[in-house]
Amino acid sequence: MNAPSNLKYTKSDEWFDPASGAMGLTDYAQSQLSDIVFIEFLVEEGETVEAGKAIASVESVKASAEIYAPAAGKVTAVNKALSDKPETLNSDAFGEGWMVKVEGGVAGDVMDADAYVKYCEERAH
């Protein structure tokens, strides 16, 4: 499981990069969902989001899931390219698979990479 150490993670499997304000779905989550075939964004540029608020909805061949903001802030970018290529979430969850970027991001209830990996391992048993 990939969990870059510079990111922060939520128990609902989203990641947040405090340096860039980017957020998205974790590698663990995309592997559990399997092939992602659709994404719908629930926020627009210029909106303010609160940590824990739904920012997107994804559908895979297995299930659908809400994606929640791991941080609060003003939305500065929405990765609309994912609408045409939702499979990017499977192939590059922490790179081109970012979903939303916020400015002035204040992280909500997040953990570091080591704690997140441990949390995922505990759920696997």
Query: How many domains, the chain?
Result: 1
pTM (2 d.p.): 0.94
Q: What is the pLDDT of residues 60-108, one digit of tens each?
A: 998 999 999 999 999 999 999 999 999 999 999 999 999 999 998 788 8
CATH number for 62? 2.40.50.100
Domain containing 19: what range? 8-107
Residue 56 to residue 78: CA distance in whole angstroms: 10
Mean pLDDT of 27-45: 95
In a domain, 102, yes or no: yes
pLDDT of residue 61: 93
In a domain, 115, yes or no: no
Helix ranges, 43-87 (H): 81-84
In a domain, 121, yes or no: no
Please tell me whether residue 42 adopts helix, strand or coil conformation. coil
